[in-house]
Amino acid sequence: MNLKIALLGGDGIGPEVLAQSVKCLQAVEETFNHHFTYTEGLIGAVAMDKYGSPLPKETIDLCKASDAILFGTIGTLKYDENPSARVRPEQGLLQLRRELQLFTNIRPVKIFPTLVNKSPLKKHVIFGTDFVIYRELTGGIYFGEKKLSEDGTVASDLCEYSEKEISRIAHLAFKAAKNRRKKLTLVDKANVLETSRLWRKVVIRISESYPEVQLDFLFVDNAAMKMMLDPNDFDVILTDNMFGDILSDQGSAICGSKGLLPSASIGNEHAMFEPFHGSYPQAAGKNIANPVASILSTAMMLSHFGLHEESLAVVIAVDKSMKKHVVTKDLNASSKYGTSQVGDFIAGNI
Amino acid sequence: MNLKIALLGGDGIGPEVLAQSVKCLQAVEETFNHHFTYTEGLIGAVAMDKYGSPLPKETIDLCKASDAILFGTIGTLKYDENPSARVRPEQGLLQLRRELQLFTNIRPVKIFPTLVNKSPLKKHVIFGTDFVIYRELTGGIYFGEKKLSEDGTVASDLCEYSEKEISRIAHLAFKAAKNRRKKLTLVDKANVLETSRLWRKVVIRISESYPEVQLDFLFVDNAAMKMMLDPNDFDVILTDNMFGDILSDQGSAICGSKGLLPSASIGNEHAMFEPFHGSYPQAAGKNIANPVASILSTAMMLSHFGLHEESLAVVIAVDKSMKKHVVTKDLNASSKYGTSQVGDFIAGNI
Ligand SMILES: CC(C)[C@H](C(=O)O)[C@@H](O)C(=O)O
Ligand SMILES: CC(C)[C@H](C(=O)O)[C@@H](O)C(=O)O
């Protein structure tokens, strides 16, 4: 298969972990006889420094012309310290999601058996945890109208959802549940929010087309509680943009390291793959960042294009790195392996 | 001291756990020579059944004429199963908060040393956890304008905050931090939301009046992660209504039982005290609900009126019940004590 891949390293540790992903994809090309081309583009703080915009037009064009986008991470200390800056690196990511209509963010949360002891949760709580969050990514309070009164004393954000926005992601989530343990939990705050009530109405209607999937509902506060007490009871979680942001980060912490989990952001025409984790600017350039989340994002990309054997080869190589303790220091404080060495080991085992 | 106390048992296990609180307050009256009067009022599903409204005018009047309100819990299965019902028991609680302008919800999260093993988190993660959440309770997306388009296909909720709404709770949170470990964490989503940026601006300005308190910032997704990985690092968390709802439930799960944590909702003129936990309708009338959260709410009430010795006496009696294993089944599956017996024991030790 031929694939045109856009590489957006972004800020902080993004470019370093992405470089390991490219190594792995090159190994896949060789082993399975595919042909991928890679083109780099700028986004985030690095793009602001060069072009004055966190998402230059060149980058949008590149992404639109590519089959898939591999994304690193975004954000730097410089902008985090000034939270009220009006132009921020994160806007590059938000605009890109919107521009490419990547309306479904898929975040699998799965415990590696070899890493159960890394979880902050007790073994009997975490054991067997394997769920996936379907987070709406281009609507809700993230993109609704924002206002600041002229005298600066009143601010507002509008959370808005349409039936169409809800139904397109709901179908994807039900399909995923059908291929998994057949359970879908809609997380919302329907006892308070009008948008949540619309989510319930639409999702209940769509559920009729998926009779084999069991649908249940959880208020978001209860969901945060349950993720602490019974995470292994979840299968597919479907939720809006804001709640999905919070719950998926809570979910990623379950695994004990932020550096392990990949994600996919899917639209009708485009698809982007990126680690869950942030840009960790303190670690940039030190060869200490864990590349596994980024590498597993390539596995999600390969599956997305139907290359399931290839995807599995990547996952198996990652598993092997863990079993052989070829891991970065976040997983084993006395490890002598850095970002690049872990990347080499995994690529070498594909 | 004379105090007029309104008792709003509400739905589910609310009335049962509240009855234990009254026992404890009566013990306090006797031991410390106070005079409290108790008047019951209806709220929630029980009020809807009787008056057609979840918050009858009688109840509002009673609350306004009282020095303090003790609240049970709200919500029943009947309404939970029909989430799009337009009149819901929870509205009684939301209206009451708004009507009495109870703008600050205080939720302490503290691990009982005897219960460390109950937490889903590993001992080294949870040990020493002792923080308090200051959640804004009468603004934000809970109370902003809600809309549903005429054809029912588009819904919206407005999240709005004014400087005044932010500054009044911020002052209370800073004062609390000053009396504790002197650390305040503002949790928001300032990289996305206009309201969050207003929170930051106002809180930064107010922090100048509290130079001894260290202020830091955390995006809500990172906060959910940190509550999993490093809960004992928090001191005072200040946040908005929606984020506070989610984080405080996540926080309560840390303690391993939902039945332990109390909360206070404070305004300039009124104060209400209630357990964190929900109405657990499946357990109602079975004498199995844990009354500790409700009883500890009375301790918060006593402190609120400056009765610190009295408050401590309640806390010590609760501690004793745990040390002597006089607890409900959620804490010890083989326990022979019910709600009422635990209440008797604690009241008897005041
Ligand atoms: C960087 C930020 C805007 C982003 C979000 O909130 O969506 C991030 O937290 C994420 O989850 O991808
Ligand atoms: C019952 C519900 C409306 C309420 C809330 O969301 O505020 C509850 O979850 C709480 O936290 O007190």
Ligand 1 center from residue A22 Cα (angstroms): 23
The DSSP secondary structure of B287-344, one letter per residue, reads: T-S--HHHHHHHHHHHHHTT-HHHHHHHHHHHHHHHHTT---TTT-TT----HHHHHH
pLDDT average, residue stretch B72-92: 77
Higher pLDDT, A244 or B75: A244
pLDDT average, residue stretch A74-81: 76
**CB atoms A200 and B84 under 8 Å:** yes
Give CA torsion, residues B315, B316, B322, B328, to 10 deg.
Answer: -50
Instruction: Tell me the pLDDT tens digit for each residue of A271-328.
Output: 999 998 889 999 999 999 999 999 999 999 999 999 999 999 999 999 999 999 999 9
The DSSP secondary structure of A5-21, one letter per residue, reads: EEEEEESTTHHHHHHHH
Choosing from B55, B94, B141, B265 the residue with most ligand 2 atoms within 8 A of its CB, the one to mutate for a pocket test is B94
Q: How far apart are the first and last CA of chain A?
A: 17
Question: Which residues of chain A are within 8 Å of residue B84 when distances are taken between CB atoms?
Answer: 190, 197, 200-201
Q: Which of B193, B197, B247 sits opposite A141 (nearest CB)?
A: B193
Q: How far apart are CA A222 and CA A172, in angstroms?
A: 24
> In terms of C-beta density within 10 A (0-12 exposed, 13-18 middle, 19 or more buried), how is residue A269 classed?
exposed
Tell me the nearest-neighbour CA distance from B154 into chain A, angstroms. 4
Tell me the nearest-neighbour CA distance from A129 into chain B, angstroms. 14
Cβ neighbours of B26 (radius 10 Å):
15
Q: Look-up: residue for tokens 């850095």?
A: A338
Residue of B77, B156, B160 to mutate for A, most A C-beta atoms under 10 A: B156
CA–centroid distance for A98 within its chain: 15
**CB atoms B154 and A147 under 8 Å:** no
- Closest Cα to residue A321, out of A298, A339, A297, A303? A339
Q: How far apart are CA B82 and CA B116, in angstroms?
A: 37
Q: For residue A334, what are its two tokens?
A: 């006395």
Choosing from A43, A73, A74, A94 the residue with most ligand 1 atoms within 8 A of its CB, the one to mutate for a pocket test is A94
Q: Return the residue whose CA atom lies nearest to atom 7 of ligand 1.
A: A245
Ligand 1 center from residue B208 Cα (angstroms): 30
What per-residue confidence (pLDDT) applies to B81?
A: 60
Q: Could you tell me how many CB contacts below 8 A there are between chain A and chain B? A: 185
Choosing from A142, A241, A245 the residue with most ligand 1 atoms within 8 A of its CB, the one to mutate for a pocket test is A245
Nearest-atom index, ligand 1, CA of A249: 11
Higher pLDDT, B76 or B297: B297
pLDDT band at B277 (very low <50, low <70, confident <90, very high): confident
pLDDT average, residue stretch B11-37: 97
What per-residue confidence (pLDDT) applies to B104?
A: 98
**CB atoms B192 and A121 under 8 Å:** no
* CB A339 within 8 Å of CB A21: no
- Closest Cα to residue B116, out of B254, B243, B294? B254
SS3 call for B169: helix
H or E element in which residue A347 lies: helix A339-348
pLDDT band at B87 (very low <50, low <70, confident <90, very high): confident
- DSSP one-letter code for B286: T
Q: Look-up: residue for tokens 């906060």?
A: B223
Over pLDDT 90: what percentage of chain B? 85
**CB atoms A248 and B221 under 8 Å:** yes
Q: How far apart are CA A121 and CA A230, in angstroms?
A: 10
Active-site residue A157, yes or no? no
What per-residue confidence (pLDDT) applies to B137?
A: 98
The DSSP secondary structure of A310-334, one letter per residue, reads: HHHHHHHHHHHHHHTT---TTT-TT
Which residue in A has a C-alpha nearest to residue B248's C-alpha? A221
What per-residue confidence (pLDDT) applies to B301?
A: 98
Q: How far apart are CA A341 and CA A292, in angstroms?
A: 12
All residues at 6 or more sequence positions from A159 whose CB lies less than 8 Å from its CB, including other chains: A140, A141, A144, A193, A195, A240, A242, B141, B156, B157, B158, B159
| Residue B256: pLDDT over 80 | no
Q: Return the residue whose CA atom lies nearest to atom 6 of ligand 2.
A: B245
Q: How far apart are CA A17 and CA B38, in angstroms?
A: 63
| Residue A100: pLDDT over 90 | yes
pLDDT average, residue stretch B303-308: 96
Cα B329 to Cα A24, B18, B143, B338, B349, distances in angstroms:
52, 18, 38, 8, 21
Q: For residue B146, what are its two tokens?
A: 């809600």
**CB atoms A193 and B146 under 8 Å:** yes
Catalytic residue among A221, A230, A286, A324: A221
What per-residue confidence (pLDDT) applies to B115?
A: 84
| Residue A85: pLDDT over 70 | no
Question: Which residues of chain B are within 8 Å of residue A75 when distances are taken between CB atoms?
Answer: 191
What per-residue confidence (pLDDT) applies to B80?
A: 63
Question: Which residues of chain B are within 8 Å of residue A225 when distances are taken between CB atoms?
Answer: 249-250, 252-253, 258
Across A151-169, b (16+ Cβ under 10 Å) vs e yields eeebbbbbbbbbbebbeeb
Ligand 1 center from residue A297 Cα (angstroms): 16
Across A282-316, b (16+ Cβ under 10 Å) vs e yields ebbeeebbbbbbbbbbbbbbbbbeebeebbebbee
Q: How far apart are CA B25 and CA B346, in angstroms?
A: 11
Nearest-atom index, ligand 2, CA of B97: 7
Catalytic residue among A134, A142, A280, A337: A142
Ligand nearest to the CA of A73: 1
Q: How far apart are CA B237 and CA B334, in angstroms?
A: 36
Q: Which of A144, A192, A253 sits opposite B228 (nearest CB)?
A: A253
pLDDT average, residue stretch A156-179: 98
What per-residue confidence (pLDDT) applies to B65?
A: 97
Q: How far apart are CA B266 and CA B241, in angstroms?
A: 14
Point out which residues pair with B188 in neighbouring strands.
Answer: B219
What per-residue confidence (pLDDT) applies to A278?
A: 86
pLDDT band at B84 (very low <50, low <70, confident <90, very high): low
Please check whether the domain covering A1-100+270-350 is classified as CATH 3.30.830.10.
no
Instruction: Pick the range with the lowest mean pLDDT from A81-90, A151-160, A181-190, B124-133.
Output: A81-90
Give CA torsion, residues B65, B68, B70, B71, to 10 deg.
Answer: 70
Give CA torsion, residues A291, A292, A295, A299, to 10 deg.
Answer: -170
Strand ranges inside chain A, DSSP E: 2-10, 35-40, 68-73, 104-110, 130-136, 146-148, 154-162, 183-188, 214-219, 236-239, 262-266, 271-275
Residue of B250, B254, B258 to mutate for A, most A C-beta atoms under 10 A: B250
pLDDT band at B78 (very low <50, low <70, confident <90, very high): confident
Cβ neighbours of B28 (radius 10 Å):
24
- Closest Cα to residue B318, out of B341, B287, B347? B347
pLDDT average, residue stretch A95-101: 96
Q: For residue A330, what are its two tokens?
A: 């976040």
What per-residue confidence (pLDDT) applies to A277?
A: 87
Instruction: Tell me the pLDDT tens digit for each residue of B158-211.
Output: 999 999 999 999 999 999 999 999 999 999 999 899 999 999 999 999 999 999
Q: For residue B238, what are its two tokens?
A: 């200040």
Question: Which residues of chain A are within 8 Å of residue B158 when distances are taken between CB atoms?
Answer: 156-159
Ligand 2 center from residue B319 Cα (angstroms): 27
What's the mean pLDDT when you consider all of chain A? 94
Q: Return the residue whose CA atom lies nearest to atom 6 of ligand 1.
A: A245
Class of domain B104-260: alpha beta
Q: Return the residue whose CA atom lies nearest to atom 7 of ligand 2.
A: B245
Residue B159 phi/psi, 5-degree rounding, is -100, 120
Q: How far apart are CA A135 and CA A108, in angstroms?
A: 11
Q: Which of A155, A221, A250 sits opposite B245 (nearest CB)?
A: A221
Which residue in A has a C-alpha nearest to residue B244's C-alpha? A221
Q: Do domains A1-100+270-350 and A106-261 have the same CATH topology?
A: yes
Ligand nearest to the CA of A90: 1
* CB A276 within 8 Å of CB A252: yes
What per-residue confidence (pLDDT) applies to A258?
A: 76
**Can you give the pTM of this predicted structure?**
0.95
Provide the CB-side half-sphere exposure for B246 (13 A, CA). Answer: 30
User: What residue spans define the domains of chain B?
Assistant: 1-100+270-350, 104-260
pLDDT average, residue stretch B306-324: 96
What per-residue confidence (pLDDT) applies to B334?
A: 93
All residues at 6 or more sequence positions from A77 whose CB lies less than 8 Å from its CB, including other chains: A281, A282
What per-residue confidence (pLDDT) applies to A87?
A: 74
Ligand 2, CB cutoff 6 Å, lining residues = A 191-192, 221; B 74, 90, 93-94, 245
Task: Tell me which residues of B are annotated as active site.
Answer: 142, 189, 221, 245, 249
CATH number for domain A106-261, candidates 3.40.309.10, 3.40.718.10, 1.10.150.20, 3.30.70.3340? 3.40.718.10
| Residue B113: pLDDT over 90 | no
Q: How far apart are CA A56 and CA A47, in angstroms?
A: 7
Across A219-245, b (16+ Cβ under 10 Å) vs e yields bbbbbbbbbbbebbebbbbbbbbbbbb
Q: Look-up: residue for tokens 């509008």?
A: A158
| Best-predicted range by mean pLDDT (A114-128, A228-242, A248-262) | A228-242
